[in-house]
Chain A
Amino acid sequence: MTLTLRINPIACTGHGACAEVAPELIEADEWGYPVMNPGPVPAGLEREARKAVATCPALALKLQRDGNLSATENLRRN
Chain B
Amino acid sequence: MARPATARSRRGGDSPRVLPPVPGVTEDLRAHYSRNGPARYRGPALLRAVREAGLTGRGGAAFPAHVKLAAVARANGRKVVVANGAEGEPASAKDAALLYHAPHLVLDGLQLAVEAVGATEAYLYTDIRHADMVDRALAQRTDDIPVQVVEAPPRFLSGQETALASRVSGGLALPTFSSSRISEHGVHGMPTLVQNVETLAHLALIARRGPGWFRQKGTPAEPGTTLVTINADGRRLVREVELGARLADVITDGAAVLIGGYHGTWLPMTTALTLTLDNQALSGHRAALGAGVLAVLPHSACGLIETARVARYLAAESAGQCGPCLNGLPRIAAAMAELAGPRPRRGTVQAVERWAGLVTGRGACHHPDGTSRLIRSALTVFGAELSRHADGRCSAATDRPVLPLPSAQALPLTDEDWL
The chain A residues found within 8 Å of chain B, CB to CB, are 6, 8-14, 29-33, 35, 62, 64, 72, 74-78
Contact = CB atoms under 8 A, between A and B. Distances in A.
8 contacts: A9-B362, A10-B176, A31-B323, A31-B324, A64-B179, A75-B67, A76-B180, A78-B61
A28 to B, nearest CB: 10
Interface residues of B, number: 29
Interface string B320-361: 011110011000000000000000000000000000001000
A5 to B, nearest CB: 13
A67 to B, nearest CB: 10
Contacts of B162: 76
B63 A33 contact: no
A33 B324 contact: yes
A31 B323 CA distance: 8
A33 B362 contact: yes
A77 B323 contact: no
Interface string B142-184: 0000000000000000000110000000000001111111110
Interface stretch (B2-10, B211-219, B271-279, B363-371): B363-371
Contact of A11 (B57, B177, B324): B177
B179 A6 contact: yes
Nearest to B319: A10
Nearest to B358: A29
Q: Could you say which of B68, B176, B362 has the most chain A C-beta atoms within 10 Å of its C-beta?
A: B362
B322 to A, nearest CB: 4
Contacts of B365: 77
Given A10-B364, A35-B362, A75 B182 contact: yes
Interface in B104-130: none
B22 to A, nearest CB: 34
A6 B63 CA distance: 24
Contact of B323 (A33, A72, A75): A33
Contacts of A31: 323-324, 327-328
B366 A72 contact: no
A9 to B, nearest CB: 4
B364 A75 contact: no
Contacts of A62: 179
B181 A72 contact: yes
Given A14-B323, A77-B365, A9 B177 contact: yes
Contacts of B178: 76
Given A10-B364, A75-B67, 12 more contacts: A6-B179, A9-B362, A29-B324, A31-B323, A31-B324, A31-B327, A33-B323, A35-B358, A62-B179, A77-B365, A78-B61, A78-B63
B30 to A, nearest CB: 36
B183 A75 contact: yes
Interface string B179-222: 11111000000000000000000000000000000000000000
A72 B321 contact: no
Enumerate the 7 nearest inter-chain pairs by beta-carbon distance, A residue then B residue, closest first: A33-B323, A9-B322, A31-B327, A78-B61, A78-B63, A10-B321, A75-B181
B71 interface: yes
A33 B364 CA distance: 14
A10 B181 contact: no
